[in-house]
Chain A
């Protein structure tokens, strides 16, 4: 289903004309109202009038998280504070939080994009939506909430945490749609079994999962364990929050970028040179309609590529491939780039391996060591030492084959790896570099 037929299926030519018009307006407004951006453009020798085609965006300087931090808290806002009706902020786990603001119109557009996303995932007005994204400064909870209300569905604003209570409420309220991080969805599936509840006896039929990268194998695991269709949603607070891109239920193959509001680019991960359509690199977004917190060529640190093929759902928006890695998550082990999702991919392709794992990185002398801890499920367990040793060996070999890095694989008892109630902590890096 499509929520906004007019915009979501706009012919490419009309869409690109709309994008250009919106881009020109946005750049002009930003130049006039945000001194920091004006200075950066002046330094680069670009004026708003130089943006004559969509490709001209490449003349503009990039914006990074560092720029956002430098302007903490409100330095990049493009409207007076009296027009700002909402503030959100990143968790700030890797430094100072990044703060974003919204006008009334921004909130309305965000709700619309989130509604489009829910509808693309298969939700309707009749659904009871269990929203486990955290409410608060994090954009997940409120972002999804407004979209679900805008759709006319029934929202259960449960937020994160207290898993047993969540499950009870989900069952008693007969919730049909689950919104959470993928790792928390698996955590809940497991908790249901522990509580003696068959996940298939719940009324859930669709889950919309985001806020952390997850692999295709993890999708299959969630779909199997919860008996639902698992849809990937993409967003980041710097751009607007959840609802920047969404998979359609028809294909589940790539996420349609809401291109009437955001202009995506892919750039080389090292040189930041723009890459041709279809090549993989770092995702860059420019907002086209944001009032309070517009961003120009924001480098997301997420790696993806754009898919331009026609999609059977009828949307004309390009799709971005499922993000499987972020440069933030990337570990450099003995000079090799390693993403947790690659390890997850290996683990989950082995039958019986539980999706609970942790990667521990240490430095011994001058050598990096990586240990992958995997929980032993009943399916994997054997009374024979040989069988378990063969299993760890096999995981080691497959990781080595894929990544070119050797690692130690340790089997651990079930439930010893900490379960997440939000974003999963996959990596413990003990190196002091």
Chain B
């Protein structure tokens, strides 16, 4: 149920995003979802790709600092209130979200929300018990 995500450290310099995506493209890596966290001094690019291990190695070989973390990907109805109902469960169970980002599927009927929790195992159990649909890594990598 846990999905692997890679994170890349970025200095605030022009052209770095283009370099990363260029290197991945050249090596046939497909990006499934991404988000960029930025501060005044640096940025952290988070990516879910079709081949985590290769992408990590390629970026590392190209001199980037790369980390791998696990996140949960939850399917929500693509309609008003779809996300709110999931967040309500998270709030009621006092699960702390480090960060989250969203993307939609091709079908357009459901949206996917990526959550990075402090305590991923506890979050996974709670959300499953509450009836949320969590996608497996294979499902996400193959989107």
Contacts and interface: CB of A to CB of B under 8 A. Distances in A.
Interface of A: 376-378, 381-386, 388-389, 392, 410-416
Interface string B1-45: 000010101110000000000000000000000000101011010
Contacts of B42: 388, 410-411
Interface residues of B, number: 20
B9 A381 contact: yes
A322 B102 CA distance: 56
A383 B10 CA distance: 11
A377 B46 CA distance: 17
A20 to B, nearest CB: 59
Given A378-B67, A389-B39, A413 B116 contact: no
B99 interface: yes
A382 B9 CA distance: 8
B77 interface: no
Given A381-B7, A416-B11, A411 B67 contact: no
B136 interface: no
Contact of B44 (A377, A378, A385, A415): A385
8 contacts: A378-B66, A381-B9, A382-B7, A383-B69, A384-B99, A385-B99, A411-B11, A413-B63
| Main secondary structure on A side of the interface with B | loop
Contacts of A377: 65
B98 interface: yes
Nearest to B11: A413
A378 B60 CA distance: 10
Contact of A383 (B5, B39, B41): B5
A410 B41 contact: yes
B62 to A, nearest CB: 11
A356 to B, nearest CB: 13
Nearest to A409: B41
A382 B67 contact: yes
B85 to A, nearest CB: 26
A414 B39 contact: no
Contacts of B41: 392, 410-411
B103 interface: no
B39 A376 contact: no
B46 A414 contact: no
Contacts of B98: 384, 386
Contacts of B5: 383
B65 A376 contact: yes
Contacts of B67: 378, 381-383
Given A384-B116, A413-B9, 14 more contacts: A378-B65, A382-B7, A382-B67, A383-B5, A383-B46, A383-B116, A384-B98, A385-B39, A385-B44, A386-B98, A388-B39, A413-B10, A413-B65, A414-B64
Contacts of A411: 9, 11, 41-42
| Main secondary structure on B side of the interface with A | strand
Interface in B54-68: 63-67
Contacts of A415: 63
Contacts of A386: 98
Contacts of B9: 376, 381, 411, 413
A383 B63 contact: no
Nearest to B10: A413
Contacts of B66: 378, 381
Contacts of A381: 7, 9, 65-67
A383 B46 CA distance: 7
Which of A377, A412, A415 gathers the greatest number of chain B CB atoms within 10 Å? A412
Nearest to B71: A383
A413 B41 CA distance: 12
A381 B59 CA distance: 14
Contacts of A384: 44, 98-99, 116
Contacts of B46: 383
Contacts of B37: 385
A383 B63 CA distance: 17
B71 to A, nearest CB: 9
Nearest to A378: B65
Which of A377, A385, A414, A416 gathers the greatest number of chain B CB atoms within 10 Å? A385
Nearest to A384: B98
Nearest to B69: A383
Contacts of A414: 63-65
A413 B44 contact: no
| Chain A to chain B: the 6 pairs with minimum beta-carbon distance, closest first | A383-B7, A383-B69, A381-B67, A381-B65, A376-B65, A376-B9
A389 B9 CA distance: 13
A382 B66 CA distance: 9
A287 to B, nearest CB: 48
B119 to A, nearest CB: 14
Which of B5, B42, B64, B66 gathers the greatest number of chain A CB atoms within 10 Å? B42
Nearest to B67: A381
